[in-house]
Structure 1
Amino acid sequence: MASTNFCQSCSMPIDDPAMAGTEKNGAPSKEYCKYCYQQGAFTTPNMTLDEMRTVVKTEMEKRHIGQEIINLAVNTLPNLKRWRNSNN
């Protein structure tokens, strides 16, 4: 089974190259999705971890994803690269 890469900001799977964000030089990001990262910068640079928790939960609920999976995604956020050293 192939491993899955997850956005290091929102935890969304980014195995599909179309879902990858972009670096300053236009190359696909290996760490962040297109919703979180464009042209080498976060699309919402001042977002807090708590705000990201709300966004992730809301977007997953819109897609009728089960609560267990939503909880897993939200609880994973503090361990991702963007949030690891966050005080939120």
Structure 2
Amino acid sequence: MENKTLCQSCGMPLDSEEVKGTEKNGSKNNEYCKYCYENGAFTDPKMILKEMQNKVKNQMKRLEHHEYEIQKAINILPALKRWKS
């Protein structure tokens, strides 16, 4: 299985420059996607893990992913950099 770089907030694959978040100087961030991180800061800084899990679940359901894939995505979130305690 290939080792993909994932957003360290939502778990989305960072498989192209277009989906990477940005720093204040406009450079791309290699750890977070543009939906979670823009202009050097989290787009929703007060979000808690449970809210992110719900957001990921709802988005994946909208995109018609299988329940197994949704559960797998939700289960990795606590291990990501943003949510590690």
TM-score for the superposition, normalised by structure 2: 0.95
Identical-residue share of aligned pairs (%): 49
Please name the residue that 1:4 is paired with.
Answer: 4
RMSD: 1.1
The SS at the match of 2:14 is coil
State whether structure 2 residue 22 is matched by structure 1 residue 26: no
For residues 35 and 68 of structure 2, the distance between their equivalents in structure 1, rounded to whole angstroms, comes to: 23
Please name the residue that 1:61 is paired with.
Answer: 61
Q: Stretches of 4+ moved more than 2 A in 1?
A: none
State whether structure 2 residue 70 is matched by structure 1 residue 70: yes
Equivalent position amino acid for 1:5 in 2: T
- Structure 1 stretches of 5 or more lacking a match? none
TM-score for the superposition, normalised by structure 1: 0.92
The SS at the match of 2:31 is strand
